[in-house]
Every structure is written in C-alpha cells, then in structure tokens.
Structure 1
C-alpha cells in the first residue's frame, strides 16, 4: 500500500490539508497527518482544530511514497521554519520521490532550490519565492516528481492528481466519477 505524510503547521489552510487526506484515503492510500510541532493539536488558519496522527519526531518517513505540504498563513511560514522538514524534502527530491505543495507552500520548496527550472504554481503574491522556477499561474502543475497547486480552489484537482501519480489515471478518474466531480 502506498504511504503518504501530510504536514500540518499552526495556521494551515484546512481545505488544502483535509481534501487530500480525504481523497487519498478514499483511494485506499495510507495517509498519516503529521504535526510539525511537538503536539498533535494543530489549529488551522480558520480556527479549526485538527488532531494529527503523529508529531514529526515520531516518524522516520522511510516508508513514504509522497510528502504533502498544505498552504495557508501562517501555516506555510511555520512549515518553512522546520529545518528537519526541509532536509527531508531535499532528500526526497534527490531520490525522485513524490512531493506535493499547494497555495503558499511551494515557497518551502522554492527556498531549497527544488523548483529550479521546473514549471510551478502558487498562491498569487508568492511567485518571487519560487526560486528559479518557471511560474505559470496555472491551477495545477506537475514537474517530474513535484506537484504544485495554486490554492483552495484547486484542492480537489491537486488531490486527484496525487491519486493519479500514486495509483494511475484510471483510479483517479474512477474516484472523481464516484465523488461526482464535474
């Protein structure tokens, strides 16, 4: 079974975190939510409290097929402060493993040079932090092992793309049909 870790930091955008969790689990993919702080309780940007499955230091991530960064503010800034997470992302990228980032979260990848020469997108206003990326402004971009999405409005498309990359286009299409995505 494929394994995904979705990282939650204080101030994360709830839709951008929960939509991938829900869609990936519907696709029978093993998803673990991970708090980047030392507590499982994480408050989203709109004051919705989520209880992560684990805290960062409880995971070794060696079984991961995909790492996902939801956006939101100040969630993205809090993700960007977690040095161990950034090191993990660099290591994952070197291995060619899958990484997904939505909204402002692609700036975490951009800051580490992981988007260099790649098509990428992000929430408007953060383009200058996608270091050496080709910012497209599209709702969704797939560049090799990295998927970026623009924001809340692209959350379902982002989640279905992650399913497609892990289980195939047909699985994603079938799931979208079951969920009545039009």
Structure 2
C-alpha cells in the first residue's frame, strides 16, 4: 500500500466503549499506510475504551462527536465490531443517521464482525450480500440482506468480513474500495 488514499479522510465510528481493539487499529493502520487520514468519531467526546474480546484494551482519543459530523465530510466509513460497540451505536439516532448518509451518498463502507448490527438499524441491507460474525445471520436476513459465510464480501461499495482472522483481506479490500470512491449503484433510498 502506497498512496492510494492520499487526500482521503476516512471516518471510524465506535461507541464510547465496546469496540474490538484490533478491528479498530488494523484498519486504521491500513488507511494511514495507504496515505489516508483516519478520524475517530464517537457518540461522546473524550476517549473511547477499546476491548480485546471481553477484556479492557487501550483507550483512544475521539476526534469528533458524530452528532456534529456529516458523511459529506468523509470519503469512507469503517465500522469495527465488538459485541457491545454496534449495539450501543444502533441505539444512538445520530450514529444511525451518520451511517445511513454514507449509503445515501454512495460512499464506501467497511464493516466487520458484529458491526453490521448498526447497518441493520440504519435499514441499508435490503438486497445486499454481506458477511459477519455468524450470530448476526438472522438479523441480517430479517433486514433483507443475504448473509454468507466468507472471508470478505464486497457488494456495491460495502465491504464486510467475519472476524479478526479476516483482517488482512478486509484491510486490503477497504483500501481498494476507498480508493475507488463513490459507488453510484450503492445509493439506496432511505
């Protein structure tokens, strides 16, 4: 990865606690190594508490509160997993609005593990093929999505992966999709 993302700003949206640390730090590193500028958004200012499965990991400073952000400020979005993280996000109207805007604006989105719960709440999965942690299969299908068990899936600018073991493939694909930019066929009516 060289400078594919030079001049591109990528939003990473996480709850104040519960994000799986490696699902935040590895994609973040991939975006930086590709010349992009990652920005950490959350529902509250200050710091977020990341987790290594169920154990507390490191804390990371929040760059911007999601209620003050718009998808038009960014070139792409990453939604890390962690069991609690997307559950908290899907209960926050501003976080859900922000996620939905990326689909309305046909901008690429990367989501991993439990992250698709936020996409279910944003009602953006109808007709899309996506993968995730297996326990989300029924939720995704109930939201109109087609769940598959694959390392990485790309559907009209939406990149999804199942788990931390899939991070190398996930990181390569998000960089590729972010470099491509807008995906007109991704635009969905809200």
Structure 2 gap ranges (5+)? 1-6, 181-190
Residues in 1 aligned to 2:47 and 2:135: alpha-carbon distance in whole angstroms: 29
Q: For residues 37-88 of structure 1, give each alpha carbon's deviation from its aligned partner in whole angstroms, at most 9, with x where no partner exists.
A: x232111123122222233244344221101110102111111112112112
Using the size of structure 1 for normalisation, the TM-score is: 0.85
Q: Is structure 2 residue 33 aligned with structure 1 residue 23?
A: no
1:140, distance to aligned residue in structure 2 (A): 0.9
Structure 1 gap ranges (5+)? 169-182
Q: Which of the residues 39, 43, 47 maps onto 2:45?
A: 39
| 1:72 matched residue in structure 2 | 82
Q: Number of matched residues? A: 167
Q: Which of the residues 2, 7, 16 maps onto 2:8?
A: 2
Q: For residues 118-147 of structure 1, give each alpha carbon's deviation from its aligned partner in whole angstroms, at most 9, with x where no partner exists.
A: 110010111111111111111111100211
Q: Look up the SS of the partner of 1:104 in the other structure.
A: coil
- Structure 2 vs 1, CA of residues 84 and 58 (structure 1 numbering), >3 Å: closer, same or farther? closer
List, as ranges, runs of 4+ consecutive aligned residues in structure 1 with deviation greater than 2 Å: 52-63, 110-113
| 2:3 matched residue in structure 1 | none
Bigger CA drift: 66-75 or 80-89? 80-89
1:156, distance to aligned residue in structure 2 (A): 2.2
Q: Is structure 2 residue 107 aligned with structure 1 residue 97?
A: yes
Alpha carbons 1:93, 1:145 under 8 Å: kept: no
| 1:108 matched residue in structure 2 | 118
Aligned-residue CA RMSD in angstroms?
1.5
Alpha carbons 2:87, 2:117 under 8 Å: kept: no
Alignment of 1:1-182 (within 5 A): 1-9=7-15, 10-36=17-43, 38-46=44-52, 47-48=56-57, 49-130=59-140, 131-167=143-179
Alpha carbons 1:40, 1:54 under 8 Å: kept: no
Using the size of structure 2 for normalisation, the TM-score is: 0.82
